[in-house]
Amino acid sequence: MDDPADAPVDDQGGRSPGAGRLARVPTSPRFLQLADVAEVLNISAAQVYALVRSGDLPAIKIGGRGQWRVETSELEGYIARMYEQTRDFVSTHPLGRTDDEDGAADGDGEPADDVMAPEDPVKDSRDS
C-alpha cells in the first residue's frame, strides 16, 4: 500500500482513519527478564539478581510467581550511572600516579594495597 490511492475507503468515500499509516509497534520490549539483563550487561543472572535485591538496579516483581522485570529505561539509567561512577573513579585514580615519593598510592607510607611489592614472591601451591 505504498500509493495513498490504494488506502481503504470508508462509506462516505473518504479514506479510513489511519489509512496509509503503520500501526505503532514497539521496537523493543518495555520490560526485560533478569536473564535478558544479564545478557545485555554480560554478567550472570545471579549478579543481576544481586543488583536488583541491593536496590542498585530498580526492578518490579510481577505475577503470582513473583517474576522480576527490569524496565529498559531503568537499565539504561543504571548503565549511565555506572559510566559516571567509572569516569569519577578514573579522574581521581589516574594511571601511573603516586601520592608520595615512596610509591604508596594510598597515602599510608606502604605500597598500595592492590599492588604486590616486588620482594613478595608468589608462592606456588606445590612449594608446600
CA-nearest of 61, 70, 62, 83 to 39 is 70
CA-nearest of 77, 67, 66 to 34 is 67
Give the CATH fold of the 27-91 domain. Multidrug-efflux Transporter Regulator; Chain: A; Domain 2 (1.10.1660)
Q: Note the pLDDT tens digit of each residue in 12-35.
A: 555 555 556 666 766 889 999 999
Residue 126 has pLDDT above 90, yes or no: no
Check: CB of residue 40 under 8 Å from CB of residue 4.
no
The cell for 26 is 514497539
Q: Note the pLDDT tens digit of each residue in 47-82.
A: 999 999 999 999 999 999 999 999 999 999 999 999
Supply the DSSP symbol for 46. Answer: H
